[in-house]
Structure 1
Amino acid sequence: MTLSKFVDELPVIRTLKPKGMMDGVPYYQIRMQQCRQKLHRDLPRTTVWGFEGNYPGPTIEVNRGEWIKVKWINDLPQRHLLPIDTTVHGAEANKPRVRTVVHLHGGVVRPESDGYPDAWFTRGYRQVGPLFTRKIYDYPNRQRGTTLWYHAHAIGITRLNVYAGLAGGYIIRDPLEEYLNLPKGPYEMLLLIQDRSFNADGSLYYPIGPEPPVPNVCPSVVPDFFGDNILVNGKIWPYLDVEPRKYRFRIINGSNSRFYRMKLSSGQPFYQIGTDGGLLNTPIITKQILLAPAERADVIIDFSKFKGHNIVITNDAPSPYPRGNPVNVDTEGQIMQFRVCLPLSSYDFSIIPCRLNTIIPLKESCARLIRNLTLVRETDKFGRAFLLLDGKRWDDPITIKPRLGSIEVWNLINLANSTHPIHLHLVNFQILGRQPFHVEYYNKTGQILPTGPAILPDLNERGWKDTVRANPGEITRIIMRFVPYAGLYPWHCHILEHEDHEMMRPYEIIN
């Protein structure tokens, strides 16, 4: 079924209010619920999972340094919406089908509030995972102002829970931003981009296995999944009526596997002002923005010279990225439409400042340790693609134990054939650069033979990051300081099909 584009208005996601106070700080109760929602004019209502009765979930908005408490409540049915592969670690037949735990992606929180994959719980907390399970999470928000997002994170079924709809936005506001005079109020919006496929009855489609099928395993985990409909804020190919003025958009790639290389059909640039971890030093003027799953971009689009125009955000990123199939320009090649049709309600006093922030570089000379970590593609006992971090599985002994307060450099050596977005919980990092190397020579000798010069990160990557694109045949170098908490945290590929099938490892920060 081919759906009409730009017939539904972009939903404005509501901001959630706290239920009250607890221990002197705002307290939220957020339920994960099954609901039916109209995702497109021409589709019947679709059964999805959401937070507080909505997909995507409501936005949580706080000020920097404002401590909040959140009780995440599993109010989902006992039966899962989607097919569960019980051969995947953590999703075995003896585990409850519907398990949840919520991770605040990019949040600087203690381990017990991080949403550790094994810390899942069921409806009513009747059964819990083995580690760190608690009913109320603490979010101190003692970090830079930025756009985060929260999403389901239970081991073995993250791809299914997020695809069912368990995701939402989280904004930390730095009061100092007021002095920058950026677009705000109705001229600032969150854009959560995801891809989905649908059955004829409007229900979510998710494959039961790869092609050719895996013998004796059905349903089976797939190596990645790309939907042929693009949703923004829970609507398929929506439109937004805008005034001829500047707007600020906080863009989140919430897709399971799909990368987006976005351009504006008008040929005009984006002014990117921020990334995963907050504002950049200066705005970056760019005709395209590439976002891997979980990456964010804070951008300003200036519509002031385009009165009467319809402008489409397009996408031309291959799937899998970067060597996969080209996009179908009639489907996943388009994301949403802006209609510059509203009258100017007032003079636009907002600006795009020359200076946004001060980012102090971490010095490689201060690193206590440099780690070489491989991203490898193997096959599991069923012959399926099996992607691993440093050749190890989730339950293997922990080998990465940074000291609290120390700086380390991680060299991510990608021996696989696609780009992996690598996400570290707790810490933000800076990208030092990327360098191509001879993969076959490394596989034979274990030695790195560069095939070209080291390349600095893109201009719009030179801020604080929590997710980095590690390209095939390249060494991606990142540097970070392990603060402010000790304890156990995950790092993983944020292609959710990879994460669920062992491309995730714990690391432990020790005192």
Structure 2
Amino acid sequence: MVRVHFCFCFCFCFCLLLLLPPSLAASEEKISTKKTNPLTLLDPTTVDKFVNELPNPIEIRPLGAAPVKLPALPTRTWMGLRDREGKRLMTKVWGFEYAGRIHSPGPTIRAREGQPVFVHWANGLPGPHLFPVDRSIHLADVKDPKAVPIVIHLHGGHTEWKSDGNPLAWYTRNYRETGPQFDKKIYEYDNSQDAATIWYHDHTLGMTRLNVYAGLFGFYLVGDKNEDRLIQEKLLPSEEHTRVVAITDSLFTSDGQLYFPGWRNQPPSPVSHEVVKANWPNPSHLDEFFGNFILANGMAWPKVSVTPHVYRLRLLNASDTRTLILRINEDIPFVQIGGDGGFLDHPVQLDELVLAPAERADVLVDFSGYEGRQLTLRNFGPDIPFKGFVEANDPKSSIPLVYNPGGKRVLSDGRGGTTPATDPNNTGQVLQFHIASAPTKVSPDRQKTAAIDTIGDLKLTLNTPLRPPLNRLSQASKIRQLATYRLDDPYGRNLLMLGPVKEGSLFFEDPTTEIIQHNAVEIWEIYNPTVSAHPIHIHLVEFQVLDRQPFKGKLIPKPQKFMHTDKTFQGARLEIESLQGKPLPPQPEESGPKDTVIALPGQVTRVIARFDREGLYVWHCHLLSHEDYDMMRPFEVLAPKLSTAD
């Protein structure tokens, strides 16, 4: 009788467990795991800084029409972490396999202007995901809950749309499942653009933040004859004195594994402190991510061994939410020679460098005169989303700027106050340059160049043209008024959205509102009534920043359906009341071709671009957590019109 009663109870409990929703069952499993094995985070102060060399990604130089195969695969890598006994902690990541090894971040692809490159971004990820996947948001609709979809976007590439990495063109391992816009396995990049520092990264719907954080990104460098000339004429450093540096921030568990918050009753980020509330889905999307470790090319706080020469640093901010404000100690200036889309017209000297997520900067740093020294690349960006620089004595009334004139301004908190810079001992440091000793005798060439205001041992001056002057667009066939929105979803979570000013907030899945004539030149006015800056990225085009201008406006409530569900929530549309003052021109370092621009709070940011390829593309905020939920919208460029003669 006792045995029968026991079997009945066991079967009843087992059936009850089967009836639980998967998310709840998973939640209970996590809670149970936490009770027996509490998850703890690694303390960044326990990690030795500036002792491990900066990794240099392997380079691929594709030739001909043969595609380069780069399968996405799981691996373990060393990111500079050790346990208490000094043993290396190996970290699970995802990367791309090339030449018999899995690289995370991925290999650097070297391309040439006008020479096509074909890449097979195969998906070999077995799943499940390394990080919590919130299935309450608009997500790649895979039937197998353990499958991991990917799709790769060449960020900054002038790419035909079927190779652009549309978020709906995702695919799982061995193409068992594919998204509604999946079209081809091998992507073609025709490289119809000038020399530039661009990059590739995952772009899967609702999972970009997770896949990029896992390691699915890398550099893609386009070269051309103009860049060759600059190097040959010693106006720019040689490849020997060039480094690519992708900067990210991360969290780690005490056993050295990457950690991304999202489960209830697990540790929040010790930087942002955001937790999954009791009424939220579990796991849940969080609207920002900040780590307390800084990585460069996947290594925590590395050193860079250099010689006392001018070095070219091709910098990328690949972080989720963190805007970097970079300086080198002892006030060593940067000389910026290029941005997102290639070279500036002339070099620009800067005391500090502001890089929002996805922005790139091509800079020169002169290490001559610092033989045998160590110089630290520091970050003065905030531990909150960037909101601009304001006057310290009157932050409420001063107009936020994207730069800090004279270094006298402070960081805005977006609500009329100020916010401090980040922790100077951890996220306030990026890497350290270790400059080798040099012969005491200075060469005659160096003495000569130093006398004519050249930059170090180069022949470059601040007046040297780097390219033919950029063809400035002026006449536009259409001006579009677009806006950013910060709202509450039905659970009370932050929901970030985009949409035209007229229609108001729209989800990514709502009908396309930006339909563009082929080869049209358009001005996009991006109004930002939120309290944070948003780095806005437009696929396909290299735009030119026109200006920024403060505005006054108010949000009008707009009852709205919540994505594809039966729920509703309070959306909004922006009513613009007036523009304030004169437009603020772009900074000199923003004067080159761009694909990502910082749209400051309380301001309209204007850009102009030519849309010269037909197809389906997207534009979005490049704070990856914002992009995933749901700050992304499609746009379509129509096919060329046939002439009557045709």
TM-score (norm 1): 0.95
Contact 1:427 1:481 in 2 (8 A): yes
- For 2:225 and 2:611, how far apart are their aligned partners in 1? 26
Instruction: Give the match for residue 321 of structure 1.
Output: 386
Instruction: Give the match for residue 474 of structure 1.
Output: 603
- For 1:94 and 1:325, how far apart are their aligned partners in 2? 46
**Which runs of structure 2 are paired with 1:287-298 in the superposition (5 Å)?**
287-298=351-362
The alignment status of 1:36 with 2:76, answered yes or no, reads: yes
Contact 1:111 1:132 in 2 (8 A): no
Instruction: Give the match for residue 75 of structure 1.
Output: 124
Secondary structure (helix, strand or coil) at the match of 1:338 reads strand
- For 1:95 and 1:433, how far apart are their aligned partners in 2? 47
Secondary structure (helix, strand or coil) at the match of 1:447 reads strand
**Which runs of structure 2 are paired with 1:410-425 in the superposition (5 Å)?**
410-425=524-539
Instruction: Give the match for residue 358 of structure 1.
Output: 468
Q: Report which stretch shifted further, 263-272 or 24-33.
A: 24-33
Instruction: Give the match for residue 202 of structure 1.
Output: 256
Identity %: 40
Q: 1:102 to 1:241 in 2, by over 3 A?
A: same
Shift of 1:214: 4.9
Secondary structure (helix, strand or coil) at the match of 2:188 reads strand
Contact 2:483 2:574 in 1 (8 A): no
Match of 1:395 among 494, 505, 509: 509
Larger Rg: 2
Q: 1:212 to 1:314 in 2, by over 3 A?
A: same
Instruction: Give the match for residue 337 of structure 1.
Output: 432
Secondary structure (helix, strand or coil) at the match of 1:401 reads strand
Instruction: Give the match for residue 591 of structure 2.
Output: 462
Match of 1:280 among 331, 335, 344: 344
Q: 1:287 to 1:352 in 2, by over 3 A?
A: same
Contact 2:171 2:182 in 1 (8 A): no
Instruction: Give the match for residue 266 of structure 1.
Output: 330
- For 1:273 and 1:493, how far apart are their aligned partners in 2? 25
Deviations 1:187-233 (A, max 9, x none): 01110111111000000111015425151411100111011111001
- For 1:395 and 1:505, how far apart are their aligned partners in 2? 8
Q: 1:498 to 1:154 in 2, by over 3 A?
A: same
Q: 1:415 to 1:12 in 2, by over 3 A?
A: same
TM-score (norm 2): 0.76
- For 1:476 and 1:28, how far apart are their aligned partners in 2? 39
Q: Report which stretch shifted further, 131-140 or 496-505.
A: 131-140
Contact 1:183 1:351 in 2 (8 A): no
The alignment status of 1:490 with 2:613, answered yes or no, reads: no
Query: Aligned AA for 1:355?
Result: P
Q: 1:74 to 1:445 in 2, by over 3 A?
A: closer
Match of 2:552 among 425, 438, 441: 438
Match of 1:250 among 314, 317, 322: 314
Shift of 1:439: 4.0
Secondary structure (helix, strand or coil) at the match of 1:73 reads coil
Deviations 1:391-413 (A, max 9, x none): 11111110101111111001100
Query: Aligned AA for 2:489?
Result: D
The alignment status of 1:150 with 2:200, answered yes or no, reads: yes
Contact 1:214 1:382 in 2 (8 A): no
- For 1:414 and 1:325, how far apart are their aligned partners in 2? 23
Q: Where do 5+ consecutive residues of structure 2 fail to align?
A: 1-42, 83-87, 264-273, 388-412, 414-418, 447-456, 500-504, 557-571, 640-646
Q: 1:264 to 1:7 in 2, by over 3 A?
A: same
- For 1:444 and 1:273, how far apart are their aligned partners in 2? 40
Shift of 1:452: 3.0
Shift of 1:438: 2.1
Q: Aligned-pair RMSD on alpha carbons?
A: 1.9
Contact 2:196 2:221 in 1 (8 A): yes
Contact 2:108 2:220 in 1 (8 A): yes
Q: 1:216 to 1:468 in 2, by over 3 A?
A: closer
The alignment status of 1:191 with 2:191, answered yes or no, reads: no
Q: Where do 5+ consecutive residues of structure 1 fail to align?
A: none
Contact 1:310 1:339 in 2 (8 A): yes
Deviations 1:3-61 (A, max 9, x none): 2211111111110254xx6xx52420001111100101525000001111111101000
Q: 1:145 to 1:217 in 2, by over 3 A?
A: same
Query: Aligned AA for 1:458?
Result: Q
Contact 2:554 2:576 in 1 (8 A): no
